[in-house]
């Protein structure tokens, strides 16, 4: 997994400190009701510091000044948490912005000129920022692609490490789902004709930068709901504390030695009882969650997508490229009927000479390593077929290239979706074809009676059988194997522990799909699925009231990506897929969605854990402050004073010190996220209540008592 490395230097930390003061603007804080009330309380306390007799207050200017400073620190620390998190987001946008480079473009004067006929006279050199959408450029080996576009002719190896961080080059070619190219990437071999699809300032990178910046600023639906809840709690506490002022006046009317409740202490009580901790860290948690997604080279178009990933009930996974490596390679050759191994190897080799696919190259490689005998040295026996998966490693001692010297690419019969076969026509008139078993069976005049059994055995072992026919006579089978991705079973099990149902939807046959599903422990699988079936599957799951996620890279995946609650599109895929999804994976790794689900879960868990801690804190501070403030008027409350703090002033100050400084102590946790393990919702709730609820209840008592003891040792408030 490639991560974007983001560093926050000393200058940026200074900037976060400066931004903390800028964010004191009430027009900014009013969007966070909790901190807005804290700021209002700070202003009231400041007025009392300037004029201690205001509101009939009886405390000293120094006492009120300390309260004012602590309340101001509370707001500043909260602002710092948000500013620091936002700087990380801005650093990510800056890292993407640094990838944008101006280069020269080879604009084609005649766009219809065939790629093999292009020379210097057909090219006009222009700055990349002068190229407009719809124009066609020529990109040769060593050239940098000037602007985002679509390959309309040619095939080339492209270095996209500047965008994805992956060092391995990728193939971009016309036709199919690998036509999209990104400006700023370099062609390593061959050449392309590219039709520019973006205007200046509207490139893929420009869009990604905008998405990163906007996603950092926008509140997610859950955060909006949490803000409304915190606003409601704040209003309740404001009313309750305001009522206490009049209650104190009532008590003062008949209680000797009690002059009423001090305004500054009531403000301190209000701030201490409000959920200031989670109110201060809420924005930082959201921005940090977005940051963790972007660090994994996934661009989320909104915070909603990240949260939805954390709430998913079902995850639809494709087989090829997600559960398996997607690179099917030849493992063995199996002869059938009267044919021998040499016949099958030779026919397979010759039919693959000009086949540039991964499968074709692997057949050539395997054929060059093998001879006419099997690995155990035995000779083929009529219709006998070796067990699927038994790779042969004996050195070649037969001329599998016999008769290939006179062959050229003109003899090659390329694969087509209609025939589902490819092959070669030899100069002597011999026709060799290889392809899907049923397609070759239909093409051939005859086939051995045992053809189906070995092909079924290969499918049931997770492989793909290709039948080989010579002059319309089936002579054998090529066994291809698509390996499972390392550790994929463990990752799927981890997702299942989170309570997410895993579903595999693949275009492969039932036998292969069942074998793969059994190997990795998939909950449910669907074979021979096309684009229409995928979107129907998404809709059926959603009809049950569940949230569903999926990945895709092709135009035919776009409807399902758009319909899914979380649609992770591949950067290497088509523009239609990238526009339909609400996330884009720059690494084009379909299994990345498993990581995204974990990040979403961690985001929700972090918010839940710190909310639990904050509420538990408020309960503990209630039992600290209320007895200290009212014990003089209501002696019975002394029984609640379990800490036995030295003086009411010490209790108020110690509580505010804890309330302010717990925020910066929790900033690293809010930015990093709580340690997350794949568990069920019930287990996570129990852990939250024990660790963060219990910790939030106990921590205030311990630290407030320690602060009070320090005040006593220093002779403060005595």
Is residue 272 marked as binding? no
Is residue 416 marked as binding? yes
SS (H, E, C) 3-23: CCCCCCCHHHHHHHHHHHHHC
Is residue 706 marked as binding? no
Active site residues: 318
Instruction: Classify each residue of 274-300 as buried b or exposed e, where b means 16 or more C-beta atoms within 10 Å of its C-beta.
Output: bbbbbbbbbbbbbbbbbbbbbbbbbbb
Alpha-carbon gap, residue 186 to 182, rounded angstroms = 9
Contact 263, 55 (CB under 8 A): yes
Is residue 557 marked as binding? yes
Alpha-carbon gap, residue 509 to 42, rounded angstroms = 69
SS (H, E, C) 322-362: CCECCCCEEEEEEECCCCCHHHHHHHHHHHCCCCCCHHHHH
Is residue 553 marked as binding? yes
Is residue 417 marked as binding? yes
Contact 23, 79 (CB under 8 A): yes
Block residue for tokens 């010759």: 350
Instruction: Classify each residue of 611-632 as buried b or exposed e, where b means 16 or more C-beta atoms within 10 Å of its C-beta.
Output: bbbbbbbbebbebbbbbbbbbb
Alpha-carbon gap, residue 5 to 448, rounded angstroms = 58
The structure tokens listed for 313 are 């009930």
Alpha-carbon gap, residue 161 to 173, rounded angstroms = 18
Is residue 359 marked as binding? yes
**512 three-state secondary structure:** helix
Burial class from Cβ neighbours inside 10 Å (0-12, 13-18, 19+) for residue 338 reads exposed
CA nearest 38: which of 26, 53, 22?
26
Is residue 420 marked as binding? yes
Burial class from Cβ neighbours inside 10 Å (0-12, 13-18, 19+) for residue 431 reads middle
Helix (H) or strand (E) holding 518: helix 510-520
Give me the DSSP letters along 185-225.
-EEEEEEEEEEE---TT-SHHHHHHHHHHHHHHSPPHHHHH
Is residue 415 marked as binding? yes
How many helices (H) and strands (E) would you count in the chain? 23, 20
Is residue 1 marked as binding? no
Which residues touch 362 (CB under 8 Å, ≥6 apart)?
Answer: 328, 329, 330, 480
Binding residues: 355, 359, 415-422, 434, 553, 557
Binding residues for ATP: 355, 359, 415-422, 434
Binding residues for Mg(2+): 553, 557
């Amino acid at each position: 997994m490639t991560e974007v490395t983001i560093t926050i230097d000393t200058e940026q930390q200074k900037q976060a400190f400066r931004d903390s003061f800028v964010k004191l603007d009430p027009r900014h804080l009013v969007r966070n009701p909790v901190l807005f009330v804290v700021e209002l309380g700070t202003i009231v306390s400041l007025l009392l510091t300037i004029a201690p007799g205001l509101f009939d207050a009886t405390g000293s200017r120094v006492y009120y000044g300390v309260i004012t400073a602590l309340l101001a620190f509370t707001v500043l620390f909260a602002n710092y948490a948000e500013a620091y998190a936002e700087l990380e987001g801005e650093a990510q946008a800056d890292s993407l912005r640094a990838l944008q480079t101006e280069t020269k473009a080879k604009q084609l004067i005649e766009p219809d000129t065939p790629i093999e006929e292009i020379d210097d006279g057909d090219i006009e050199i222009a700055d990349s920022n002068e190229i407009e959408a719809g124009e066609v450029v020529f990109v040769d080996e060593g050239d940098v692609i000037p602007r985002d576009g679509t390959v309309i002719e040619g095939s080339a190896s492209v270095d996209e490490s500047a965008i994805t961080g992956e060092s391995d080059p990728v193939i971009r070619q016309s036709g199919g789902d690998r036509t999209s190219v990104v400006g700023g990437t370099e062609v390593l071999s061959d050449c392309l004709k590219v039709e520019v699809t973006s205007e200046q300032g509207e490139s893929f990178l420009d869009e990604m930068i905008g998405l990163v910046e906007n996603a950092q600023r926008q509140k997610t639906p859950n955060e909006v709901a949490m803000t409304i809840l915190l606003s409601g709690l704040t209003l309740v506490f404001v009313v309750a504390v305001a009522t206490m002022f009049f209650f104190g006046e009532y008590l003062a009317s008949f209680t000797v030695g009690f002059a009423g409740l001090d305004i500054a202490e009531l403000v301190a009580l209000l701030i201490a009882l409000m959920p200031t901790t989670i109110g201060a860290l809420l924005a930082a948690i959201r921005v940090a969650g977005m940051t963790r997604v972007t660090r994994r080279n996934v661009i989320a178009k909104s915070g909603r997508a990240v949260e939805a990933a954390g709430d998913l009930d079902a995850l639809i996974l494709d087989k090829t490229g997600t559960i398996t490596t997607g690179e099917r390679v030849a493992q063995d050759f199996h002869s059938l009927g009267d044919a021998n191994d040499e016949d099958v190897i030779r026919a397979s080799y010759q039919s693959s000479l000009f086949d540039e696919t991964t499968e074709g190259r692997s057949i050539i490689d395997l054929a060059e390593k093998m001879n006419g005998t099997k690995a155990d040295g035995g000779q083929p026996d009529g219709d006998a077929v070796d067990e699927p998966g038994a790779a042969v490693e004996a050195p070649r001692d037969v001329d599998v290239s016999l008769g290939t010297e006179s062959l050229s690419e003109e003899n090659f019969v390329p694969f087509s979706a209609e025939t589902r076969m490819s092959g070669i026509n030899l100069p002597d008139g011999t026709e060799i074809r290889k392809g899907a078993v049923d397609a070759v069976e239909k093409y051939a005049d005859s086939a051995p009676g045992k053809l189906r059994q070995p092909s079924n055995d290969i499918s049931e072992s997770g492989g793909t059988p290709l039948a080989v026919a010579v002059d319309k006579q089936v002579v054998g089978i090529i066994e291809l194997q698509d390996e499972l991705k390392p550790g994929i079973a463990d990752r799927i099990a981890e997702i299942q522990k989170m309570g997410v149902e895993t579903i595999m939807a693949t275009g492969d046959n039932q036998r292969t799909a069942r074998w793969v599903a059994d190997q990795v422990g998939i909950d449910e699988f669907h074979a021979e699925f096309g684009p229409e079936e995928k979107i129907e599957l998404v809709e059926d799951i959603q009809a049950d009231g569940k949230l569903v996620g999926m990945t895709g890279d092709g135009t035919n995946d776009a409807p399902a990506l758009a319909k899914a609650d979380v649609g992770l599109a591949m950067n290497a895929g088509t523009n239609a897929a990238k526009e339909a999804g609400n996330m884009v994976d720059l690494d084009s790794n379909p299994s990345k969605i498993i990581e995204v689900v974990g990040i979403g879960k961690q985001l929700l868990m972090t918010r839940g854990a710190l909310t639990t801690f904050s509420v538990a804190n408020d309960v503990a501070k209630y039992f600290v402050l209320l007895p200290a403030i009212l014990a003089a008027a209501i002696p019975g409350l002394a029984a609640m004073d379990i800490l036995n703090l030295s003086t009411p002033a010490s209790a108020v100050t110690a509580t505010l010190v804890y309330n302010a400084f717990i925020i910066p102590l929790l900033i690293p946790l809010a930015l990093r996220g709580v340690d997350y393990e794949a568990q069920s919702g019930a287990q996570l709730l129990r852990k939250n209540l024990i660790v963060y609820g219990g910790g939030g209840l106990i921590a205030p008592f311990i630290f407030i008592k320690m602060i009070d003891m320090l005040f006593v040792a220093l002779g403060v408030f005595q």
